[in-house]
Structure formats: structure tokens, C-alpha cells
Chains A and B, each alone.
Chain A
Amino acid sequence: MAEKVIYAMYDDDDVLKDGAKMLVAKGVKVSEVFSPFPIHGIDPIIGVKNTRLGIAAFLFGITGTFLATYGMRFFMITDWPINIGGKPNGTYLENMLAFIPVTFEFTVLCAAHGMAITYLLRNKMVPGMPAQNPDPRTTDDKFVIELRASENAQFSVDELLSMLKQTGIIEIDQKEIN
């Protein structure tokens, strides 16, 4: 089903923030904001929850720590202990000091790569994806608020447009999307 979407364009991040605050106070649901750089403080206004990627990174890191520990225990203790100058190599604990650098590096490797891949997939970003922003100027110096008619059923489209017009917009655009 086709849906009516309104794009309101601003040329300043603070104007957009004030505008969004005003709209939300009136009960309008702002479905999306597009901007060339992060607008600090916009997330709580339009109800964007904080990302949980940090937790994901921690879990990836822990996985790395575990894999490195398990791997080195197997390689150096169980499978083929190497006698280096008669240093103790009977148990993992006796040899652990030598394993700390690699454990650390592998933890960082897993945390960083795991998080980066999750980030790209959650954003639906892979090489060759078509641009997802509504207007090419939103990666330069313009800021866009997106309103969806279906999410604001209590207002008519004209009401939404007149509310937007009070917020210092520079352009307004309507689209039908599927």
C-alpha cells in the first residue's frame, strides 16, 4: 500500500532540533531525521533508543579471549608442548604470562571486527547499496525531517504541513512510497 511521506528540509541543525521538539510536543511522531553529521541531542527528542552495539562488542571481545585461551592451551600445552630452555610448560597457568599478549590482541581483533561487521549489517550497509538518503543535499549542509502519514493518523496531511511550516523549514516535499 502506498504511503504518504513528508520531507521537511532545514539548513541548520539547531533549527531542526527546535522544530522537532515543537512537533513532538504537539504529539507528532517524527519517523526519521537525515543529517550530514550527528546532531547531538536529537535522539531523545525523536525517540531514537541508544544502540546496543557496545554490548555486542563486549560479547565479541569475550569470545576472542576465550578462543585465544583455549587455542593456546591446546597448541602449547595439550597437543605439542615445546621445551624452551627448560621453562615450565606442564600446565596453562605455568605458561600463562607468555600468552597474555596474544590473548589481548585477539580479544581486540574479535571485538573490533565483530562490532564493525554488526554495525554494517544493522545499518544495511554493504558495498554497492543504493543511497538511502531522500535528498543528495543531506550529506552536504541540509537536514531533513521525515514524517509518515500512517504514523500520524490523528492529523491530516494539511495539518502536518502547516505545523512544519512554523518550524523554519526551507523546503517541503511529499512522496508516495510503497
Chain B
Amino acid sequence: MHKEAAIREPLVLGHKSYHDVTEDVCKPIEDKAPRMWYILFGIALVIGLYGVGCIAYLLGTGIGVWGLNKTVGWAWDITNFVWWVGIGHAGTLISAVLLLFRQKWRMAINRSAEAMTIFAVFMAGTFPLIHMGRLWLGYWVLPLPNQFGSLWVNFNSPLLWDVFAISTYLSVSLIFWYIGLIPDFATIRDRAKRPIPKKMYSILSFGWSGRAKHWNRFELVSLVLAGVATPLVFSVHSIVSFDFATSVIPGWHTTIFPPYFVAGAVFSGFAMVQTLMLVMRKAMGLEAYIHVKHVEYMNIVIMVTGSIVGVAYLTELFVSWYSGVEYEQYAFINRATGPYWWAYASMMTCNVVSPQLMWFKKLRRSLMFTFIISIVVNIGMWFERYVIIVTSLHRDYLPSSWTMHFPSHIDIGVYVGTIGLFFVFFLLFARFFPVLALNEVKTILKSSGESYKNAPDHGHHAHGHASHDDHTEENTNSNNQ
């Protein structure tokens, strides 16, 4: 068995036995939902339905109901698309990249981070689809033979690469998530007493057995999926950035975009994970599994990726000056000092300054501070996309067509609606699905659980009854560290 250094903080606090893990994760699913859940679900549903109404109005009337004009032909729709795709980067990063690096702390958060990813990508996908105006013809993006002659979709276009990247990312994340869920559904199935939930979880668990051979396959499938999902995570946002980088718009056609977008995506994704996780651990009583150490690890990721984003902003400024191209230079001067200076300033404050505060150990271990910063970061990342997209477009080569972009109430309604729908999905997930990879957490209990880790080494047999361990003995041990 893998041994960990005693000074490394335990990942599972308290005197948890295997059964306690099952109990803690399954209890919120089996009990009645708390009143707060219904309140939040109601609010999210109303907002979500308002968004659906706005989408229906948009589809019935046309794209003209958005605040677009001749100069700014891409604004909130693509901003929201990139924002949601970016948020959707944390889940698979946590489960795939951290699996390859054997980071055990991922196990407490990967399940809900992946769920978050999938729902965020759903929301992202909504925007290009409704932007088509005729949603029901969305399948035209696929390379299908059609009745208009054999003209195919254009495989040279980054917009088509996006179709492949996003759909691959969504479906691969979905199967990665589901394969991990199957053993946990089986646990709920075997505990369920009432016939309908038993039937439902029985269907969802695919008859999972827990045989040694099946676990052997399970581990390899997880590893290989992590291996293929890792380049996928990086490719998706690189390809999204190609939508801009391959164009000839000053402010967009920069080679720095792919790494800069990927870092920004991880940055905003982890921030969203923090926002959700900090609420979830409290509401569902999972403080022993997702605790300050996990929050600190994620804050370090936020700090590092935030710094990469900061360096990218400065590099962009430097390169635009160094390029000697007047239009390129103006695009950046206009960004920082033009009519959208306030968007640029909020982006700089939220994305560059705020993560630097995480250098202070006190701050990055403070839950309240983390919660606030996590929201600030996502506001900043929304502004980043808005700044890149709108400020590069609104003053084009022809000064007579210079204009501003003002969102219409439909723009706002669709955007806010997707946030509502996202929370509808996430709340349903938290209600009916195991929010922690409970069987995976059991595998790290002996190496990283508090009561096992610091217990004196008197043969592992005694460890099976950690919950019965003598508390005073445990305390002296932690004091010895």
C-alpha cells in the first residue's frame, strides 16, 4: 500500500470507516430534500424558464432581437459561448490531468466538477445553435450528403473544428463521468429500500458487480480515458481560440491565443468549481471530504493560471506595440483607454490582481475569501471575452461605421437564462446523483484518511475499525507531528 508522509495533511478528516463514506454520500440522496433545495431549485427554474422564453422569442422573430449591428456582428452570444466552454474546462482537467498525475485530492471533487463541466458545455452549445436562427437545421453542421448537390461542410474552417471539438469533448466527458458513476449507482441501488428508486438506480447501475476483473477493466478504462481526455481538454479551448486567431481582425489574430485561452479556461473553471463546492460541502455535510486543503489546492491552481493569463495580457500589449502595425496598436490602445475602458479595467482587476492575493496562505485558506474571489474571477473572465470580442469589432477600419454595442433585453435574458438552467441541472444532479466518487474515496481512506494515516502502525487489521479507535490516542498522535 502506498504510504504518505505524516506531515501531509489528511484528505479525509475525522474517523471515517468505509461504511461512513457510503453513509455520508448516500444520506442526502435517500433523505427528503431540504426546504432550501426546493427554494433554490424554484428560483433557478424560474430564471431558466425565462431564458427558454427568450430563446423561443428569438427563434420566432430572428437574430435581430439581439443588440447586434452591422459593425458588431458578434457580441454576447459568442462571449457567453466562450465563457461557458471555459467554465467547462475544470471538470475534465480535474479528473483526467490530475488522475495522470496521481493527485489524490481530485477524488473528492472530480464527480461534481465533471457534472459541472457537462452542464456548462450544454449551456455553451446552446449559443451557436440558437445563433443559427433555425435551430432545427442544426444538423447541417455535420458532414452529411444533402439535397443541394454534394457541397460538404468546410473542413478548413475553425468554426467546423469547433463543432467536432465541442461535441467530442461533451460526449467523452459524459462517458468518463458515467463510467465512474456506475459503481456508485450500484452502491445506492444496493441500499435503496423503496421500490421505485431501487428500480431506477438498478437501471442506471447497469448491473454492476464489483468483480476483481471488472475493477481491473474499470481502472484501465479510467486511465486510458484520462489519457485521451487530457489532450482533448487542451485542444478544445485552443480550437475555440482559433475562431478568433485565424481571422484578420486586429486584436484577434495573435498566435498567443491558444495557450492564453486554455489558461483562462482552467482559471474560470476552477473558480466555478470553488463557487459550487463551497456551497455544496456545507449544504450536504461533506466538510470532512472537501475541506480547507482541497480549497487551498484549487486556489493554487487559480493563482497559477491567473498569473499565466496576466502574463498573456501584458505580452499582448507588448507585441502590439512591437509589431509596428498601426491598426494592431490602435486596437489595444482603444481597448484600454477607449469607450470600453471600464470593461478592460474590470478584466484586469478581476483576473490579474485578484488571484495574486492567493499568495497569502491565510487568504487562500479562508473559505469566505475564496468564495468571493471565485465569483470575482468568473465576472472577470466574462469581461475578458467581451473585451476581446466587442472592443476589437466596434471600431473597425472605417471610422464612419464606428459604433457601440448595447445588449438588448433578449441578450440579457438568454444569458441569465443559461445560468438558471445550469443551476437547475446542477441541483438535480446534487439531489439524485452521488456527488462524491464515494467508492474511489474509499481507496484513499487508508493512505490519506486522518484516522488511518496517523494511527500507530500496529498491523492494518486493526484499521478496519477506525471508527472505534481510541480518540485520545488519535489526538496525541496528531500532536506529535
Assuming the contacts A127-B206, A132-B208, A141-B18, asked whether A37 and B443 have C-beta atoms less than 8 A apart, the reply is yes
A95 to B186, CA, bound (A): 49
B184 to chain A, nearest CB (A): 9
Judge whether B190 and A137 touch: CB under 8 Å.
yes
Question: What residues of chain A lie closer than 8 Å to B339, measured between beta carbons?
Answer: none
Most buried by A among B153, B183, B217: B217
CB-defined interface of A96-125 with B at 8 Å, one 1/0 digit per residue?
001101101110110111011001101111
Picked from A35, A101, A138, the residue with its CB within 8 Å of the CB of B165 is A101
List, in ascending order, chain B residues with CB within 8 A of A43's CB: 212, 216
A residues contacting the other copy or chain, number (CB 8 A): 68
- Interface centre among B150, B161, B242, by most chain A C-beta atoms within 10 angstroms, is B161
A38 at the interface (CB under 8 A from B): yes
Option from A32, A38, A75 in Cβ contact (under 8 Å) with B218:
A38
Instruction: Pick out which of these stretches binds chain A: B78-86, B123-131, B221-229, B327-335.
Output: B221-229
- Looking at B215, B239, B439, the one whose CB has the most chain A CB atoms below 10 A away is B215
A26 located at the interface, meaning its Cβ lies under 8 Å from any Cβ of chain B in the complex = no
Measured CA separation A141–B158 after assembly (Å): 50
The total of Cβ contacts below 8 Å across the A-B interface reads 214
Is B151 in contact with chain A by the CB < 8 A criterion?
yes
With a cutoff of 8 Å between Cβ atoms, the chain B residues found around residue A50 in the complex are 216, 220
Report whether over half of chain B's contact residues are helix, strand or loop; otherwise say mixed. helix
Does A124 lie within 8 Å of B443, measured CB to CB?
A: no
CB of A71 within 8 Å of the partner chain: yes
Known: A112-B225, A123-B214. A105 touches B205 (CB 8 A): no
Q: Which of A39, A48, A124 interacts with B207 by CB under 8 Å?
A: A124
Q: Which of B27-35, B40-48, B459-467 contacts A (4 or more CB under 8 A)?
A: B459-467
Q: Which of A38, A72, A141 contacts B215 (CB 8 A)?
A: A38
- Which residues of A are in contact with B by a Cβ distance under 8 Å? 11-12, 14-15, 32-40, 42-43, 46, 48, 50-51, 53-54, 57, 61, 71-72, 75-76, 79-80, 82, 84, 87, 95, 98-99, 101-102, 104-106, 108-109, 111-113, 115-116, 119-120, 122-133, 136-141, 168
Excluding A15-B464, A37-B442, 15 further A-B contacts by CB distance (< 8 Å) are A37-B439, A71-B143, A102-B161, A104-B231, A109-B164, A113-B171, A113-B172, A116-B175, A119-B217, A124-B207, A128-B207, A131-B209, A139-B190, A140-B187, A140-B190
Instruction: Enumerate the 5 nearest inter-chain pairs by beta-carbon distance, A residue then B residue, closest first.
Output: A129-B207, A132-B209, A136-B190, A12-B464, A141-B18
21 contacts between A and B (CB under 8 A): A12-B461, A14-B463, A32-B212, A33-B211, A34-B212, A35-B215, A43-B212, A51-B220, A76-B152, A79-B150, A80-B150, A105-B161, A105-B164, A115-B221, A116-B221, A120-B206, A123-B209, A123-B217, A125-B208, A139-B190, A140-B187
